[in-house]
C-alpha cells in the first residue's frame, strides 16, 4: 500500500517509520528532518529500535492509498488542501483536538477519525524516540460504521501497529480531548512534565478541566461521564509521567500551541460555564503572544 504521512514531526515520523516496515511510505515534513531521512533513513530508538527508509520530502507525492494526518491542528486546513493533490483513497486524522476531520472533509473523502497512544519524541533530524508502545483506534468521525476504517486498520496491523476499529469515535475523541484539556495547558504553564500533575494543586486544575470537558461532551450528546474523563486523565498522567506534553514543548520553544483546538474548542462548544477551560485558554494564549 502507498501511505503518505502528512506531518513528519515526532508522532508522524514514528508511525510512518513503523508503517515503512511493511508499506511504501512517504513522510511529508520540513527540512532538515526530511533531508536527513532521505539521506540516511529514519532511526527509531527506544521501546522499538530499527532504521526505516521511507521516502521523505517537503511536498506530497502524486498519489496515495492512505493518508495519515499528523500535523498540528492549526495546520489542518493546509493539510486538506495539499493532500487533495494526491487524491488519497482514505484519509485518517491522528491529531490532537476537535474539528480536524470536518476541516479535512472539505477537500478529502472519506475522512476517518483516529486516536493514537504511542509516545514519540523527535531527538534530532533523522532520529525519533519511541517512548512507549501504543495503539491506534479508528472509525467514522460521527460514529457508526465505515468500511474504509477496516481497510486502514488492516494496513496498520500489517505493519505491526495494534489497531482497532470502533463505532464510538465521538466518545474517544472527547475522552482524548478531556485528557489533553487537563494535561497540556497545566504542564505548559507550569513548565513541568506530565507526572508532576499526579499530586497537588495542579491536579485539581487538570481534573476540573477534564470534568468540564465531559459536561460539554454530554451537551453535544456524546456519552462521556465525568468520572470516565478523570479516569482517562489519571491513566495518561501515569503512563506518560516522564514525558513533556506537546503544549509544554511548544511553549518552551516559543512555538504556536494547539490551545484553540483543545481548551478553546471546549469553551467554543460549551452551553454551560467552563471557567477552568476558559482561564487556561486565556493564560496559554497570553504566553503565546508574549513569545
Ligand atoms: O497527547 C498528549 C500531548 O502531549 O499532546 C499527551 C497525551 C498529553 C501526552 O503528553
3-state secondary structure the chain: CEEEEECCCHHHHHHHHHHCCCCEEEEECCCCHHHHHHHHCEEEEECCCEEECCEEECCCCCCCCEEEECCCHHHHHHHHHHHHHHCCCEEEECCCCCCHHHHHHCCCCCEEEEEECCEEEEEECCEEEEEECCCEEEECCCCCCCHHHHHHHHHHHHCCCCEEECCCHHHHHHHHHHHHHHHHHHHHHHCCCHHHHHCCHHHHHHHHHHHHHHHHHHHCCCCCCHHHHHHHHHHHHHHCCCCCCHHHHHHHCCCCCCHHHCHHHHHHHCCCCCHHHHHHHHHHHHHHHHC
What's the pLDDT at 144?
Answer: 86
pLDDT category, 9, cuts 50, 70, 90? very high
Q: Which residues pair with 163 in a beta bridge?
A: 136
From 186, 245, 280, 284, give the residue whose CB has the most ligand 1 atoms within 8 Å, as the site to mutate: 245
Report how far ligand 1's centroid is from the alpha carbon of 62 (Å).
32
The average pLDDT across 186-199 equals 96
Query: Percentage of the chain surpassing pLDDT 90?
Result: 92
Query: Percentage of the chain surpassing pLDDT 70?
Result: 100
Report how far ligand 1's centroid is from the alpha carbon of 11 (Å).
11
How does the average pLDDT of the chain come out, rounded?
Answer: 96
pLDDT category, 119, cuts 50, 70, 90? confident
Residue nearest atom 1 in ligand 1 by C-alpha distance: 180
The average pLDDT across 145-153 equals 94
The average pLDDT across 103-113 equals 97
Delineate the domains of the chain, giving CATH numbers in brackets.
2-165 (3.40.50.720), 169-290 (1.10.1040.10)
pLDDT, greater one: 108 or 146: 108
What's the pLDDT at 242?
Answer: 87
Nearest atom in ligand 1 to the alpha carbon of residue 246 is: 4
* 41 vs 34: CA distance, rounded Å: 9
Grid coordinates given for 8: 513528519
Nearest atom in ligand 1 to the alpha carbon of residue 249 is: 4
pLDDT category, 180, cuts 50, 70, 90? very high
Is 184 a residue whose pLDDT tops 90? Answer: yes
Report how far ligand 1's centroid is from the alpha carbon of 180 (Å).
6
Report how far ligand 1's centroid is from the alpha carbon of 170 (Å).
18
The average pLDDT across 27-34 equals 98
The average pLDDT across 36-58 equals 97
- Its pTM stands at 0.95
What's the pLDDT at 57?
Answer: 98
The average pLDDT across 226-247 equals 94
Q: Could you report the per-residue pLDDT of 241-277, keeping only the tens digit for each? A: 988 999 999 999 999 999 999 999 999 999 999 999 9
Active site residues: 176
What's the pLDDT at 227?
Answer: 98
From 136, 209, 240, 244, give the residue whose CB has the most ligand 1 atoms within 8 Å, as the site to mutate: 240
Residue nearest atom 2 in ligand 1 by C-alpha distance: 245
pLDDT category, 146, cuts 50, 70, 90? confident
Residue nearest atom 5 in ligand 1 by C-alpha distance: 246
Peptide bond into 3 cis (omega under 30): no
What's the pLDDT at 243?
Answer: 87
Phi, psi angle pair for 134, to nearest 5°: -135, -160
Is 291 a residue whose pLDDT tops 80? Answer: no
Nearest atom in ligand 1 to the alpha carbon of residue 183 is: 8
Report how far ligand 1's centroid is from the alpha carbon of 179 (Å).
8
pLDDT category, 132, cuts 50, 70, 90? confident
- Which residue ranges have their beta carbon within 6 Å of ligand 1? 96, 179-180, 183-184, 194, 236, 240, 243, 245-246
Grid coordinates given for 23: 508499506
Amino acid at each position: 500500500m502507498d501511505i503518505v504521512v502528512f506531518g513528519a514531526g515526532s508522532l508522524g515520523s514514528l508511525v510512518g517509520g513503523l508503517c515503512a516496515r511493511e508499506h511504501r511510505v512517504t513522510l511529508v515534513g520540513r527540512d532538515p528532518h526530511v533531508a536527513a531521512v532521505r539521506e540516511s533513513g529514519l532511526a527509531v530508538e527506544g521501546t522499538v529500535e530499527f532504521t526505516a527508509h521511507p521516502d521523505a520530502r517537503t511536498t506530497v507525492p502524486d498519489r496515495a492509498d492512505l493518508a495519515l494526518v499528523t500535523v498540528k491542528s492549526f495546520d489542518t486546513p493546509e493539510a486538506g488542501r495539499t493532500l487533495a493533490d494526491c487524491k488519497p483513497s482514505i484519509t485518517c486524522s491522528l491529531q490532537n483536538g476537535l474539528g480536524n476531520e470536518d476541516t479535512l472533509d472539505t477537500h478529502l473523502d472519506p475522512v476517518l477519525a483516529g486516536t493514537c497512544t504511542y509516545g514519540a519524541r523527535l531527538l534530532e533530524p533523522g532520529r525519533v524516540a519511541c517512548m512507549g508502545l501504543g495503539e491506534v483506534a479508528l472509525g467514522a468521525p460521527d460514529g457508526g460504521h465505515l468500511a474504509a476504517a477496516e481497510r486502514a486498520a488492516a494496513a496498520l496491523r500489517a505493519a505491526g501497529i495494534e489497531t482497532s476499529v470502533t463505532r464510538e469515535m465521538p466518545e474517544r475523541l472527547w475522552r482524548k480531548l478531556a485528557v489533553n484539556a487537563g494535561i497540556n495547558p497545566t504542564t505548559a504553564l507550569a513548565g513541568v512534565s506530565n507526572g508532576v500533575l499526579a499530586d497537588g494543586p495542579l491536579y485539581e486544575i487538570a481534573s476540573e478541566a477534564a470534568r468540564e470537558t465531559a459536561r460539554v461532551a454530554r451537551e453535544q450528546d456524546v456519552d462521556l461521564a465525568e468520572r470516565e474523563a478523570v479516569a482517562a486523565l489519571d491513566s495518561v498522567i501515569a503512563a506518560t509521567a516522564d514525558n513533556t506534553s506537546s503544549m509544554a514543548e511548544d511553549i518552551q520553544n516559543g512555538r504556536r500551541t494547539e490551545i484553540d483546538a483543545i481548551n478553546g474548542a471546549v469553551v467554543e462548544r460549551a452551553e454551560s460555564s467552563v471557567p477552568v477551560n476558559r482561564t487556561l485558554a486565556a493564560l496559554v494564549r497570553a504566553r503565546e503572544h508574549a513569545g
